[in-house]
A and B are shown apart, each in its own frame.
Chain A
Amino acid sequence: MTTRVQHRATEVISRLLAYLVMAFALFITIFPIYWLAVNSFKLDIDIFAVPPVWFEFSPTLKHYDAAFIGQPFLIYALNSLIIAVTTTIVSLVFGTMAGYALARFDYPGRWRYQISFWILSTRMMPPIVTIIPLFIFFNFFGLLNTKLAVVVAYTAFNLPFVTWMMKSYFQDLPPELEEAAMVDGDTRWGAFLHVALPLARPGLAATAIFSLILAWNEFLLALILTQTERAMTLPVGISGRVTQYTTHWGEISAAGFLASVPIIIFALIVQRHLVRGLSFGAVKG
């Protein structure tokens, strides 16, 4: 039987402990990223210094210069961007229509379940399983080491994701709005364009950003399908500078940090939709 005062005391202590734990968690989260960023601006002697230099160092942009101008990281970044944008656009166009169809239309018997199921399981397939056939396939058509190949491969994984997400967002819209539009004079297609799409805009934006992030971050498929700056993406470029002989720490820190910054910004924008995106729409944040 605790008294009011005792209860308050435990409350305050618990709260304090919670804050401490959170602060620690924050520190653990931020430090590695801080460290990466800071290293990209340090001179080599500071990078290799023992004990490590925490704050006082003279910043330099030489690694950024070496990476983006000396090495073709700028081109890698551009490749990543082009690939990410292209695959997102293609996936959005087809995936949104498919998501709408699954959300609104009746399909006979087991078809609907089979289709949904197939789309979902495509997303769950581990990429490693597809690397051999994809490699052989693109090799056969002489498309290895092209951005097109990467876009096609990414689209295979992105389409199901977009379809699933948009299906979930369209299902959130009351069907009466589109029915009203049809009675008012739209066709079903017209109602899709004029009513459903504008209203699903936030979901569309979030899905697009997710798609961009996933494409930008992807490593394995790009590793296999690209070899030179004709198509190489940023993650693959970075791994290329981590060889068995030497690691160009400064350069890859610069490239790695720069690769992360846009993602951090995007992630902040799409925060509210993160839970839905990460859990395949099973959990609505």
Chain B
Amino acid sequence: MNDPTMTGTVGGIGSAFERWRERHLRVLMLAPTLLILAGLTLFPTVYMFTAAVQKVSPDPDVPREFIGLGNFARILADPELHVAVKNTVVFTSIAVTLEFLLGLGLALLFDKYIRRLNFLKTILLVPMMIPPIAVALTWKLIYQPQFGVLNELMFRLGLPSQAWAGDVNLAMGTIIAADVWEWTPFIFLLMLAGLASLPSEPYEAAQVDGASAWRQFWDLTVPFLKPVIAIALILRIMDALRLFDLVFILTVGGPAGATETLSLYVFKVAFTFVDIGYAAAISLVILFVTVGFSSWFIKRMRLAD
């Protein structure tokens, strides 16, 4: 019953190439990606290690000199850097907290009362999808002191106009507001997904047991949502710490460094002062902190399993 049209496989074992390919498939399919990534991440890291321990002058003709940990010492003594770090931390804390509260609140409302109108959800997602540049200039338009709509609103409310992005005290607020507008949908979306996956039976049991809506929220919803909340918060925090686009367009770090974030400062050091060594040192520190933090995060949330 050895069907001749089906033979060619009976007893055969295939070409040498095919055998080799199949046996090594698990390496062949993964290798290109790993190699590309290795090339693109190892080089920068190595370079930065060498640059960070040198004093590199903007003038290409001046030779580099080895200064050991000099750049790193500077990190500890640089007031502008400290201000940048402070700004970044302040921004992140306030912005992410606001985004979280608003996002969660909206998600709870949507989940409870408005489930069916899905296209609304779609509209609410737009701010986080459009290019951050567009977000920045949209808000720049709104904050414009002379003809921006915000001052028009102030006028209608009988309040004095403000310089908004140009005001030392308000500038950070303007950045935060724009960021909250842009990223609340992110939290909203993730919380919504989390809420949609909640099982209904525990709630039914709680109702029969006599728990109020408030109790149900604290005793059931919050514990169930903990993993999603953790992911949403941490992702948002990591992104907020990197803030660049918005500040670059709205305030360029001003006025008087009130909104200079860490990314902006490193950018300035590297490309305005062209102090490569110092910039490399700062970058390395940021890299270590980020890697350390994301290791913890990946391990904790078991993302790599």
Report if A and B associate in a common complex: yes
CB distance from B47 to the nearest CB of A (A): 4
Residues in A whose Cβ lies below 8 Å from that of B193: 275, 283-285
Encode B93-121 as 1/0 by CB contact (under 8 A) with A.
Answer: 00000000000001001101110000010
A124 with B141: CB separation less than 8 A: no
B168 beta carbon closer than 8 Å to chain A: no
A32 with B181: CB separation less than 8 A: yes
A239 with B287: CB separation less than 8 A: no
A18 with B124: CB separation less than 8 A: no
- Provide the bound-state CA to CA distance between A234 and B133, in Å: 9
A33 with B138: CB separation less than 8 A: yes
Once A121-B295, A242-B137, A260-B134 are accepted as A-B contacts, the answer to whether A128 and B283 lie under 8 Å apart by CB is: yes
- Provide the bound-state CA to CA distance between A176 and B41, in Å: 37
Residues in A whose Cβ lies below 8 Å from that of B283: 128-129, 131-132
A29 with B36: CB separation less than 8 A: no
A105 with B25: CB separation less than 8 A: yes
CB distance from A13 to the nearest CB of B (A): 12
CB distance from A186 to the nearest CB of B (A): 11
Task: Give the contact-size bracket for chain A.
Answer: 35 or more
A259 with B41: CB separation less than 8 A: no
Picked from B130, B263, B271, B279, the residue with its CB within 8 Å of the CB of A263 is B130
CB distance from B42 to the nearest CB of A (A): 10
Interface-side segment among B61-69, B71-79, B201-209, B228-236: B228-236
A22 with B120: CB separation less than 8 A: yes
- Provide the bound-state CA to CA distance between A33 and B41, in Å: 37
Residues in A whose Cβ lies below 8 Å from that of B127: 29, 32-33
- Provide the bound-state CA to CA distance between A102 and B30, in Å: 8
- Provide the bound-state CA to CA distance between A229 and B267, in Å: 22
A94 with B189: CB separation less than 8 A: no
B245 beta carbon closer than 8 Å to chain A: yes
CB distance from A110 to the nearest CB of B (A): 11
- Provide the bound-state CA to CA distance between A201 and B96, in Å: 35
B85 beta carbon closer than 8 Å to chain A: no
Residues in B whose Cβ lies below 8 Å from that of A279: 190, 231-232, 235
Picked from B25, B134, B189, B248, the residue with its CB within 8 Å of the CB of A256 is B134
Binding site for A on B (CB under 8 A): 9, 14, 18, 21-22, 25-26, 29-30, 32-34, 36-37, 40-41, 43-45, 47-48, 51, 106, 109-110, 112-114, 120, 122-127, 129-135, 137-142, 146-149, 152, 155, 181, 185-186, 189-190, 193-194, 227-228, 231-232, 235, 238, 241-242, 244-245, 248-249, 252, 262-263, 266-267, 270-271, 276, 279-280, 283-284, 286-287, 290-291, 294-295, 297-298, 301, 303-305
Mind listing 10 A-B residue pairs with CB under 8 Å? Answer: A21-B106, A36-B141, A102-B30, A125-B291, A128-B267, A235-B133, A238-B134, A256-B133, A282-B301, A283-B228
